[in-house]
Amino acid sequence: MEDEQYTALKTAMGEALVSFKELRLTVAEDVPYSDGPLIIERFSDRVDDIVGWLEEMSESLSDCLFHLSKGQDRDNVRKALVFCQSQGNKIASTFCRDLMSYETIRELRRVGRRNGPEWIAWGLSLERALEACKLPIDSLQRALIGAWNEVAKQATSGIVVTNTSIGIDARPTSGDRLPGA
C-alpha cells in the first residue's frame, strides 16, 4: 500500500478514535450522576464497543504494515483491510442504529426533561459530541475505499494481456456476413 493511502487510513482511524473517546468521556464522566437511567448504560456500552473496534483496527493495520515494510507477503495487507472493513462496517452500523437513531435521541431528551436542567445541559453536550463523530466515520469509510483501491491497483499492476494472431487473416472476405448486416 502506498504511504499516502496508509497515512490517510491511519489518520482517519486516529480522528475517529479521538472523537469517540471524547464522546465516551461525555457519556461516562460528564453525566450528572452515575446512577442514571438504563439508556445511559446501554449508550455507554455501545460507545465502548466502538472505541474497542477502532483500537483493534489500528493495531491490525499497524502490524500488517510493519510486516509489509519488511518485504513480507502482501496478502497480509488484504487480510488486514478485510478486518478493518468489517470493523468499520460495525462501527458505522452501531453508530447509526444505536447512538444516532431517532428513538435513542428522543429517549435521551426525555431523560433530560424528566431530570432537570443539569441533565438537559448534559444531553445537549452529548448531542454535540455525537455530531462530532459523524465526519470521522465518513472519513474512515472513504479512507478504507482508498486503501481497497490501492490494493486493487497493485493486484492488477503485474497482469499483461497479449494477443498474438500469427498466421490468421482476420479480414472479412466478400462472402462473410457481419452480424446485423
Amino acid at 50: I
CA distance 70 to 60: 16
Q: Summarize pLDDT for 81-96 with one digit per residue, the tens.
A: 899 999 999 999 999 9
Per the structure, how many domains does the chain have? 1
Interacting residues of 109 by C-beta distance below 8 A, sequence separation 6+: 123
What confidence score (pLDDT) does residue 72 get?
62
- Report the candidate in 98, 95, 120 with the shortest Cα–Cα distance to residue 109: 120
Cβ atoms of residues 142 and 16 within 8 Å: no
Q: Which three cell numbers stand for residue 89?
A: 462496517
Residue 166 lies in a domain: no
What confidence score (pLDDT) does residue 4 get?
82
CA distance 181 to 171: 16
Residue 168 lies in a domain: no
What confidence score (pLDDT) does residue 160 get?
54
Q: Summarize pLDDT for 56-82 with one digit per residue, the tens.
A: 999 988 887 777 777 666 777 788 889
Q: Kindly give the confidence (pLDDT) of every residue in the chain, 181 residues in length, as a single tens digit, with 9 standing for 90 and above.
A: 456 887 899 899 999 999 999 999 998 888 877 666 788 889 999 999 999 999 999 998 888 777 777 766 677 778 888 999 999 999 999 999 999 999 999 998 898 888 888 888 988 999 999 999 999 999 999 999 998 888 888 777 765 555 555 655 555 566 655 555 5
CATH (domain of 94):
1.20.140
